Amino acid sequence: MNEQKKKSKIIKYSKLFEKNKFSPIRSGNISIRHKRKNLDGFLISPSGKRNFELSSKDIVFVSMLGKAEKNKTPSSEWRFHLDLYKSNYCNAIVHAHSKFSVICSCLFKEIPAFHYMIALTEAKAIKVAKYSLYGSKELSKSILRAIKNSKSCLISNHGQVSLGDNIDQAYELAEEVELLCEYYYYCKLYKEPKIISRKEINMVLNKILNYKKG
Ligand SMILES: [Zn+2]
């Protein structure tokens, strides 16, 4: 995909943030891995703009050295995007302050295997990264720890991060994670939900991972 197409995808999904009230107003950010000439890096949404107002010229290229292109300011949370790309976990990242991911990130230490679709994250639970100041190196480290061997995590008192081999996958996973958080929240309101056994969730994981490969 060329640079312009990637920028269009970032804008399309940023607008959906607002349209679907998924990550309202200026919250959340989206990036896609990108190589500009010989420079490895990623394209990311800018700092401080309303999601539905973004246009192509607002999207910022940041190199793998953490340097943003001239006269542009990337999202204040660019650092964990950089560290995730360095760790080679993904080609696209969606970070959202989606309602139930925020609520669950404030209430719980993890979302366990209460529903088999948890396996869409390629893990048996959605972990919650420790709270730190947004944009900080500490927060980035906590996110990397929580998302290890998974495609998604929550960030304590903040929101969620979902990864994908491409942006469409990353956004779809972010939507799935939001739904799972909503289900879990309502289950917990009533009582402690039943948890799927390790053996059963492993069977789901194998099935999903084989399906993805196939
Ligand atoms: Zn955030």
Output the CA torsion sign for 134, 146, 52, 69.
positive
Q: What is the DSSP letter of 63?
A: E
43 bridge partner residues: 32, 61
Mean pLDDT by 10 residues, the chain (214 residues): 97 94 93 96 95 95 97 97 93 98 98 98 98 97 97 98 98 98 98 96 93 70
CB-facing half-sphere around the CA of 157: CA atoms within 13 A: 6
Output the CA torsion sign for 178, 183, 189, 193.
negative
Count of domains forming the chain: 1
Distance (Å) from CA 157 to ligand 1 centroid: 10
Neighbours of 96 (CB within 10 A): 25
- The rounded distance, in Å, linking the Cα atoms of 32 and 127 is 23
Q: What does pTM read for this prediction?
A: 0.96
Residue range(s) defining the domain that contains residue 100:
3-213
pLDDT for the residue 61: 98
CA 173 centroid distance within chain: 8
Catalytic residues: 77
pLDDT for the residue 214: 64
pLDDT for the residue 157: 98
Distance (Å) from CA 151 to ligand 1 centroid: 17
Q: What is the DSSP letter of 38?
A: T
Distance (Å) from CA 27 to ligand 1 centroid: 6
Q: To 10 degrees, what angle do helices 167-190 and 3-19 make? A: 20
User: In what helix (H) or strand (E) does residue 40 lie, and over which residues does it extend?
Assistant: strand 39-44
Check if the beta carbon of residue 139 is closer than 8 Å to that of residue 146.
no
- The rounded distance, in Å, linking the Cα atoms of 25 and 146 is 26
Distance (Å) from CA 119 to ligand 1 centroid: 24
pLDDT for the residue 88: 80
Distance (Å) from CA 102 to ligand 1 centroid: 10
The strand pair at 126-129 and 152-155 is best described as parallel
Residue 68, both tokens: 């943003």
The CATH number for 204's domain is 3.40.225.10
Residue 117, both tokens: 């679709």
Which distant-in-sequence residues (6+ apart) come within 8 Å of 156 by Cβ? Answer: 105, 106, 128, 129, 130, 131
Q: What is the DSSP letter of 120?
A: G
Distance (Å) from CA 66 to ligand 1 centroid: 18
pLDDT for the residue 79: 98
